[in-house]
Amino acid sequence: MKTTSSLLLCWLPLLLFAWAIESPVAAQPGKSGPPPPLKGVIRRKVRCLSLLFPSCYNQWHFCPVECAKTCFLDCALCKPVCSCNTPGAVCQDPRFVGGDGVTFFFHGRKNEDFCLVSDPNLHINGHFIGKRSQKLTRDFTWVQSIGIMFDDHQLLVGAKRTSTWDDNEEHLYISFNGTPLSLDGPNWNYRNSSLVITRTSSTNAVAIEVQDNFRITAAVVPIGAEESRIHGYNITNDDCFAHLELGFKFFSLSDQVDGVLGQTYRSNYVSKIKVSANMPVMGNIPKYSTSGIFASDCTVSRFARANGTPLTGSGKVF
């Protein structure tokens, strides 16, 4: 009995995040439900697929209005949870949820690259896109692509530039060791040694896992007209600023880990962010700046490749 209980406790955190099957449908909130979504917004339906939760299994739920297309079903709570509100999330402008649970913003600069995670066996950079705000002294920025380096491999995941958005079109780009992947069909998946990539939606969303190293969920989303109006982004018809919403889960980080997000996973990390601020911001941008999507030359780099061969490449291919 003790062994069975121990195994259940070990696997339970992973099983709670049973990834949902998506079904885009028009929202029809009830009187006692959440506020109605913005006009024209379509909410995805998700369900629990874990047999450990029979009372919730196979029940469909609408994503919350604030994350109409990027949620998962928490089987234990039997309710949808916004992917952007869990530790390891990188979403929006861009908004981070650290490994310590503290939410903060890191604006960076448009058309530049920054070290998000750097550890001896893993390095992840983010390429930022954006536009200058007429009312602020900074750019509005979003993460357009990430360059992931592990062992002797490089994996690029990015959002293709597009003027208008169509949920049925593929806006996701992935290459592995310099070779673009096809992403053909709604049931597409890819395996190469310890790397596994699977769709979490028929288009524009995948889960990426390297055994005993990391799991990343990535979804391409646009800036819609209503979102642009509310935040003053002034998005025009020539570019909807398609970008990534990301969720990171790490399995073997060392206590040396650094980077905008990575440092928050250290056991001795103490946040210096003013969490009481309306927009708690992590500053010191030059500290995390790197020369390219596959460069590990940021000041806080901890990455040590096995063969020492420098990596080259660019995320600016979209």
Q: What is the pLDDT of residues 246-299, one digit of tens each?
A: 999 999 999 999 999 999 999 999 988 887 788 889 988 999 999 999 999 999
Helix (H) or strand (E) holding 122: strand 122-132
**pLDDT tens-place string over residues 199-247:** 888 889 888 999 999 999 899 999 877 677 766 777 777 788 899 999 9
Q: Is the dihedral of CA 259, 264, 268, 271 positive or negative?
A: positive
Exposure pattern of 262-286 as b/e (b: 16+ CB <10 Å)?
bbbbbeebeeebeeeeeebebeeee
Tokens of residue 163, six digits? 């003027």
For the chain, the straight-line distance linking the first and the last C-alpha, in angstroms and rounded, comes to 54
Strands 71-74 and 23-26: unpaired
C-alpha closest to that of 223 among 187, 276, 179, 171: 171
User: Which pLDDT value is given to residue 2?
Assistant: 44
pTM over 0.85: no
